[in-house]
Amino acid sequence: MRRKLIAGNWKMNMDRASAVALAGALVKRAAEVSAVDLLVCPPSTYLVPVGEALGNSGIALGAQNMYHEANGAFTGELSAAMLTDVGCKYVILGHSERRHILGETDADVNKKTKAALAAGLVPIVCVGELLAEREAGQTAAIIKRQFDGSLAGISADLIEKTVIAYEPVWAIGTGKVATPQQAEDVHADLRRLLTERYNERSAGVVRILYGGSVKASNAGDLLGQPNIDGALVGGASLKADEFLGIAAAGVWR
């Protein structure tokens, strides 16, 4: 049985005070949704104060990105060890904004995924097609290419410590949500890929999150799909009520 994971990607939003206040608001009510795993990924400048606000609430801390090298002359970058050092358990990798705005490739994501796993961080590896790719009937091929490229060379042991997020690019921050069936079809494809590339046992362990305009009002139907094991939430994760509403929708699914 895979526990649902509800992850908030705060992106480049908030200041220190509002980040700490949001974490505090989540901590107060975390017990209401203890049947699911909660994770927040604030901007890296606020990892420490948000981590302090989360305390021992059980809400995990994660980063939105990292670099694959351990240390050295890489101005502006952060290593996996730096993230674990400030309490991170997870790191989002290959988010579509990093792929499409900042030019990250599958090879970059692969190096980062390996470095994260080696440091004991759980990578949340994002894949997802553009609208034009979906309309051209290329969704399955794009997902397969991103899956194979981003996860190349990762052992079955380590894949079980990895989370995958399916985030159709056309649904991120647009208010357009994939239908539960559209999302489930891709999640089932990803689960099949896991079985083919690894084995049934590992495929059964890996959590596959859906991301793209998830809100409390649409989360129940998405999280009710057999292969949707949680949500990666952008905009709606900035409001405690909405984020906890999504988590509550996952409790009974």
**List of residues contacting ligand PEP (CB under 6 A):** 9, 167, 172-173, 211-214, 232-236
Give the C-alpha separation, 231 to 103, whole Å. Answer: 24
Which member of 167, 184, 187, 242 is catalytic?
A: 167
Q: Which residue is nearest to ligand PEP (CB)?
A: 234
Which member of 68, 95, 97, 242 is catalytic?
A: 95
- To the query of whether residue 167 is one of the catalytic residues in this protein, the response is yes
95 or 114: CB nearest ligand PEP: 95
- The least CB distance from residue 225 to ligand PEP, in Å, is 16
- The least CB distance from residue 244 to ligand PEP, in Å, is 15
Among residues 49, 71, 62, the alpha carbon closest in space to that of 89 is found at 62
11 or 191: CB nearest ligand PEP: 11
Beta bridge partners of 90: 62, 122
* Residues in CB range of 136: below 8 A, 6 or more apart: none
Half-sphere exposure (Cβ direction) of 69: Cα atoms closer than 13 Å? 7
Angle between helices 216-223 and 180-197 (to 10 degrees): 50
DSSP H helical ranges for the chain: 16-29, 47-54, 80-85, 96-100, 106-118, 131-135, 139-150, 156-159, 180-197, 200-205, 216-223, 240-251
114 or 215: CB nearest ligand PEP: 215
- To the query of whether residue 104 is one of the catalytic residues in this protein, the response is no
- The least CB distance from residue 236 to ligand PEP, in Å, is 6
- The least CB distance from residue 169 to ligand PEP, in Å, is 10
Give the C-alpha separation, 196 to 235, whole Å. Answer: 34
9 or 227: CB nearest ligand PEP: 9
7 or 206: CB nearest ligand PEP: 7
- The least CB distance from residue 201 to ligand PEP, in Å, is 28
* Catalytic positions, written as ranges: 95, 167
